Structure 1
């Protein structure tokens, strides 16, 4: 009988905020998703205005069936993350979602001072296991689409709005 194994990739490799914050918000997101783009500043404010109580963990859930560049963007973000630049690329891609082709990703890399060939093609493919692990974890958690947010392991339902998220965080600490 075999025992279940953990994913080979650290699921908390991209953390925004205090890594030891008592409340963890996990977002399963797609870098080509307009709803994720809209949620990004809300989630960032939640973390930044929490006085170190909240951290945000990004997990990839590229909806490649509807977003043709989502998978390439996820691989590029992983590659940027390997250089400690995940959040910078994350923010750039959301700010310029209309430009996610390989050539666009190369241009984003140059703007960040990264080797453009690290973010596309064969070199970016080395990060496929991390994206697959996130996606598989999302499927196991029955993530229905993006963005899907969990607050301390409980799926948040409803619109990604600052006051609603703050209420959930405050209730956890009560």
Structure 2
């Protein structure tokens, strides 16, 4: 079993543990390149970034997220659980990281879905069907073909996915990924502090500390 396989197996186990109320998940998808807090919020949070939770929450989790990343998919329920546990006190800001070949198309789909108010339902569908459109070396379906039932106007979304504004989002996030020094996903910051010791419990501990101090 290679390291990536071990990560994903561990993550799947973690999701099960969360289902019974645990917070025991502790994978490591990579080493985080950033080694000190980022004091300038601009590279971490942009006005265009999708936000989950209360927009005025005192604690901000920034997740550098690749929709084609298996570890991001496995960690998604962990992030949702933390949002639920700290409702009103924590928000999650999503930053796009297109490290895999199908990722850019998926990001365009997400941004086009956001224009129709369908961001969250389409995100859930893309993560649910990720093994089909981002199978990492095996024949893949088009992510566009997997959106039935989400309420998305796919034809309009296909047109909108080419809009200059969406291209600008991709370009800006790509630049910020490089400027911040992100080399793997998911990468987390909590109120500008990088999660250096990667894992669900470590993320929870950092969030709890920031909630307590705000």
Is TM-score (shorter-chain normalized) higher than 0.5?
A: yes
Displacement of 1:40: 0.7
Q: Does 1:74 align with 2:107?
A: yes
Displacement of 1:102: 7.5
Aligned to 1:119: 157
CA deviation profile, 1:110-152 (whole Å, cap 9, x unmatched): 42122212333x5312112112211211111111111111111
- Structure-1 separation of matches of 2:48 and 2:89: 16
Contact between 1:27 and 1:149, CA under 8 Å: does it hold in 2? yes
Displacement of 1:160: 3.3
Displacement of 1:84: 1.7
- Structure-1 separation of matches of 2:91 and 2:150: 24
Displacement of 1:103: 4.1
- Structure-2 separation of matches of 1:12 and 1:52: 21
- Structure-1 separation of matches of 2:168 and 2:95: 13
Q: Does 1:146 align with 2:146?
A: no
Q: TM-score by structure 1 length? A: 0.83
Which sections of structure 1, spanning at least 5 residues, go unmatched?
A: 1-5
> Closer, same or farther in 2 for the Cα pair 1:151/1:115, shift >3 Å?
same
In terms of Rg, which structure is larger?
Answer: 2
Q: Does 1:92 align with 2:131?
A: no
Q: Does 1:56 align with 2:89?
A: no
Contact between 1:23 and 1:53, CA under 8 Å: does it hold in 2? yes
Displacement of 1:11: 3.8
Match for residue 197 of structure 2 among 158, 163, 167? 158
Q: TM-score by structure 2 length? A: 0.69
Displacement of 1:19: 1.1
Aligned to 1:29: 65
Contact between 2:106 and 2:143, CA under 8 Å: does it hold in 1? no
Question: Root-mean-square deviation (CA), in Å?
Answer: 2.2
CA deviation profile, 1:35-64 (whole Å, cap 9, x unmatched): 11011111111111113111111111111x
Contact between 1:42 and 1:160, CA under 8 Å: does it hold in 2? no
Match for residue 80 of structure 2 among 44, 47, 72? 44
